[in-house]
Amino acid sequence: MLLRLIKFGLVGATGVCIDFGITWLLKEKLRINKFVANTCGFTVAVGNGYVLNRYWTFQKHNDATFQADLVRFLCFSLVGLILNNLLVWYFNEKVQFKFYISKGLAVVCVFFWNFFSNFFFNFK
């Protein structure tokens, strides 16, 4: 499990770069609402994460389960997105942290939800 957690973390690091990059581009350069930008960045990172985690982290190569695994992954990610946006809102609006600090804290919190939900229920 530790090796998978490390691999999941590395995949997550690429996802964070994608997520923050897209969020920054949409929010700062295109002036899109911060929660819409956050959702878009998160969503693209999830797609990347699914492919990398399926084949590299959890080494699942059975194409017969691809769609079922994807649906479960998306469901877990949707819960993660809701948690992410709630945490960003809480840290940014209530605690008064800067937006990207709030987003970083949310990413760390949601990382554990994403790993354990996929480890125990999706790519078991």
More confidently predicted of 124 and 117:
117
For 4, half-sphere exposure in the C-beta direction (CA atoms, 13 angstrom radius) is 17
| pLDDT beyond 90 at 33 | yes
pTM: 0.74
Residues with Cβ within 8 Å of residue 85, at least 6 apart in sequence = 35, 38, 39, 106
Cα angle value 46/74/81 (rounded, 5°): 65
The domain locations on the chain are 2-122
